[in-house]
Amino acid sequence: MAEFSIIDTYFNRRNACSADLGVGDDSALLTPPPQQQLAICADTLVAGRHFPLETDPHAIGWKSVAVNLSDIAAMGAKPHSILLALSLPQIDHDWLKGFSQGLHDCCDQFGVSLIGGDTTQSPHLTITVTALGWIEAGKAVTRSGAQPGDLVCVSGTVGDAAFGLQHLGHPLQKRLDYPTPRCLLGQQLKGLASSMIDVSDGLAQDLGHILDASGVGAVLHLEKLPIDPEAAKLEQEKQWHLALAGGDDYELCFTISSQNYQKLLQQQLDVNLTIIGEITQNLGLTFLQNGVNCSIQFQGYQHFA
């Protein structure tokens, strides 16, 4: 089966397309809505590095889309469509069937469509998804707007995916394999949050990016970290380590004034929020345990480390 037949069988869904022109021509065509900026990002998943080779292909398909929609959400943008660049060592129809189904399932869940891509043969299974979204010009929530006095908040629970990785077969493995991009929350935070990032490399490291970009510091209250009841059965130190250094949660971490936080709570939210700290003028990240300084060692995920 040739490249075109793979595209046609697994990736061209003629009906559901959010673009003016999708899969099948030299480029896809989109009409930018008036006064909107394009938010665009890409993420690569490499077999054996980002997921074990034997991972369920459906989960790989889901996650390759979800991690990108999470980046679009973290800007406050509305996801619109994706492109898929796929490098395959060989043609494995069972794998392609599961993978494409997972990818389309995630697209359908969040109202985006696959509008193009590239398919090549290569010794390594590599998946690069590019996601596109729209946001009113000038309204994107960046990493650089945190102000002293702002609250530091996080959605959902953190450390679940890392717990799932350490306990394969446990129900929390679902959080590792099928992350939920916080697409609605991201858009609700537009105009309210002062800065935002999605938690992919561990909360402490990702919050650190906000602090660096904003030229501020933060205090975090360890006892407030939102931890899943299953992970909360571990000893305290381990829980905090997972919550602060575990990657792959794809929750949103944001800073917001208390006034805007009250406005946010007036909206219908589809995920719990937790206030975990405050932004300070003093640089660096300080950990408090019930108000008392606490030094805790952690490291987030770093490529090439």
Tell me which residues touch ligand ADP (CB under 6 A).
Answer: 7, 11, 23-26, 84, 86, 114, 116-119
118 binds, among ligand ADP, Mg ion, none (CB under 5 to 8 A by kind): ligand ADP
Q: What dihedral do alpha carbons 137, 81, 250, 161 form, nearest 10°? A: 180
Question: Which residue, 83 or 153, has its beta carbon nearer to ligand ADP?
Answer: 83
Burial class (CB in 10 A: 0-12, 13-18, 19+), 94: exposed
For tokens 């717990």, the residue is 163
- Cβ of residue 117: shortest distance to ligand ADP, in angstroms? 3
Count Cβ atoms below 10 Å from residue 200 Cβ, excluding itself. Answer: 21
Q: Which is nearer to Mg ion, 25 or 94 (CB)?
A: 25
With CB under 5 to 8 Å by kind, the binding choice for 51 among ligand ADP, Mg ion, none is none
User: Nearest to ligand ADP by Cβ — which residue?
Assistant: 116
Is 26 or 235 the residue whose CB approaches Mg ion more closely? Answer: 26
235 binding partner (options Mg ion, ligand ADP, none; Cβ < 5 to 8 Å by kind): none
Taking the complex as a whole, how short is the minimal distance between the CB of residue 31 and ligand ADP, in angstroms?
A: 18
- Closer Cβ to ligand ADP, 126 or 194, answer by number: 126
Among the candidate windows 21-29, 142-150, 171-179, 252-260, which touches Mg ion by CB under 5 A? 21-29
Alpha-helical (H) ranges within the chain are: 3-6, 57-73, 93-109, 160-166, 173-177, 183-189, 203-214, 236-245, 258-265
In this complex, which beta carbon is closest to ligand ADP, that of residue 116 or of residue 277? 116
**Of 104 and 241, CB closest to ligand ADP:** 104
Helices 236-245, 203-214: inter-axial angle, 10-degree rounding? 50
Judged by beta carbon distances under 5 to 8 A according to partner kind, the member of Mg ion, ligand ADP, none in contact with residue 11 is: ligand ADP
Using CB under 5 A as the binding rule, whether residue 26 contacts Mg ion is answered as yes
User: Least distance to Mg ion from the beta carbon of 4, Å?
Assistant: 12
Beta partners for 195?
255
25 binds Mg ion (CB under 5 A): no
Which does residue 23 touch among ligand ADP, Mg ion, none (CB within 5 to 8 A, set by kind)?
Answer: ligand ADP
Using the Cα atoms of residue 223, residue 227, residue 228 and residue 234 in order, give the sign of their dihedral. Answer: negative
Least separation in angstroms between CB 222 and ligand ADP: 44
Cα–Cα distances in Å, from 23 out to 15, 43, 109, 123, 260?
11, 20, 20, 25, 41
Residue carrying the six token digits 């004034």: 257
Burial of 140 (0-12, 13-18, 19+ CB in 10 A): middle
Q: Give min distance, CB of 298 to ligand ADP, in A.
A: 38
Distance CA 159, CA 203 (A): 9
Pick from ligand ADP, Mg ion, none: which does 147 bind, CB < 5 to 8 A by kind?
none
Q: Could you tell which of Mg ion, ligand ADP, none binds residue 219, using a CB distance below 5 to 8 A set by kind?
A: none
Residue 54 near Mg ion by CB under 5 A: no
Q: How far is CA 272 from CA 126, 228, 256, in A?
A: 34, 12, 16
CB of 126 to Mg ion, least distance (A): 21
Among 198, 215, 177, 184, CA closest to 109: 184
- Site for Mg ion, rule CB under 5 A: 26
